[in-house]
């Protein structure tokens, strides 16, 4: 298997992942962000990454929040598959897990662990296949089970050309490249004592783009964006619909990925 991600990008991705700990409460799946000119001025800036497909044009300017990651923070680490597989990963084992990591019940860390386990155990929506790999190898196993083991796979992640400022600002689109992928696996990092991925595949069509962006303050980002072409099976309460002011199935919904989330394509 050949993971088509430049070594420097892979190391950066893993470094960012390893710098994302339990205090990063904005990494819940329902907080995937938003970016739309239609958003309300009082909206939580961490929700700014959703946008409409028609917004994706060179020269267009849209507000986006790319969270900055403290790569030097002491937090979650990526475990080898053997070690990760030896640790229970179940809400039924929560009390044991809290004792294992010495987290008091009701603490922010305990709440984050419980929330991650709950989301990982929630049934997928119609047409969705999901899992929560607890190691890089397990993530690759899931991705190849969807994309086909005979395929070379490519891991695409957002990269910051300049140091991320972490501020909500307007970005101008300076370039767009589409990856012609028939299937897409998206993975999001979750708050947990060690790195856990929330990975899912939706049977409905998705389009994957790499978008070159320049911020008002000079920030330059090569961002991964995914447009979901059919949202008719999504929950009406999904945050994207609140941000964009639309209903399920109304139009494609697109969103940018923060630096420690990624997509896997053939």
Instruction: Name every residue whose Cβ is closer than 8 Å to that of residue 159 and which is 6 or more positions away in sequence.
Output: 9, 12, 221, 222, 259
Residue 223 CA to residue 159 CA, distance in Å, equals 6
Query: Does residue 103 fall inside a structural domain?
Result: yes
Residue 147 CA to residue 209 CA, distance in Å, equals 18
The per-residue pLDDT string of the chain (266 residues; one tens digit each, 9 = 90 and over) reads 555 555 445 555 555 555 555 543 233 233 333 333 343 344 555 567 888 888 999 999 998 888 875 333 335 789 999 999 999 999 999 999 999 999 999 999 999 999 999 999 999 988 889 999 999 999 999 999 999 876 788 999 999 998 877 788 999 999 999 998 889 999 999 999 999 999 999 888 889 999 999 999 999 999 999 998 887 877 777 777 777 777 777 888 889 998 888 999 98
**How many domains does the structure of the chain reveal?**
1
pTM: 0.80
- pLDDT value at position 36? 35
Query: Does residue 16 fall inside a structural domain?
Result: yes
- Rounded to the nearest 5°, which phi and psi values hold at 79? -90, 150
**Which DSSP state fits 6?**
-
Query: Does residue 133 fall inside a structural domain?
Result: yes
Structural domain containing residue 213 = 7-265
- pLDDT value at position 136? 94
- pLDDT value at position 72? 35
- How many angstroms separate the Cα of 39 from the Cα of each of 57, 206, 240, 249? 18, 23, 10, 19
Query: Does residue 2 fall inside a structural domain?
Result: no
Handedness of CA 76, 68, 190, 225 (dihedral sign): negative
Residue 15 CA to residue 9 CA, distance in Å, equals 10
* Size of the chain, expressed as the number of residues it contains: 266
Query: Does residue 64 fall inside a structural domain?
Result: yes
Query: Does residue 1 fall inside a structural domain?
Result: no
């Amino acid at each position: 298997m050949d993971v088509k991600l430049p070594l420097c990008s892979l190391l950066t991705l893993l470094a960012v992942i390893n710098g994302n700990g339990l205090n990063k409460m904005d990494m819940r799946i329902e907080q995937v962000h938003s970016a739309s000119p239609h958003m309300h001025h009082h909206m939580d800036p961490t929700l700014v990454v959703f946008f409409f497909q028609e917004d994706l044009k060179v020269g267009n300017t849209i507000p986006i929040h790319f969270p900055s990651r403290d790569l030097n923070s002491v937090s979650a680490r990526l475990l080898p598959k053997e070690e990760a597989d030896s640790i229970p990963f179940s809400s039924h084992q929560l009390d044991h897990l809290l004792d294992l990591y010495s987290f008091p019940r009701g603490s922010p860390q305990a709440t984050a662990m419980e929330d991650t386990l709950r989301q990982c155990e929630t049934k997928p929506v119609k047409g969705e296949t999901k899992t929560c790999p607890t190691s890089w190898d397990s993530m690759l196993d899931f991705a190849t089970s969807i994309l086909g083991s005979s395929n070379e796979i490519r891991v695409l992640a957002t990269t910051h050309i300049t140091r991320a400022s972490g501020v909500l600002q307007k970005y101008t689109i300076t370039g767009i490249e589409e990856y012609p992928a028939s299937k897409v696996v998206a993975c999001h990092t979750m708050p947990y004592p060690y790195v856990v991925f929330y990975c899912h595949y939706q049977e409905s069509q998705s389009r994957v783009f790499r978008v070159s962006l320049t911020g008002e303050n000079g920030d330059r980002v090569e961002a991964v964006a995914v447009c979901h072409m059919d949202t008719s099976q999504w929950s009406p309460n999904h945050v994207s619909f609140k941000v964009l002011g639309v209903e399920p199935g109304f139009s494609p919904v697109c969103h940018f990925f923060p630096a420690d989330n990624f997509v896997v394509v053939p």
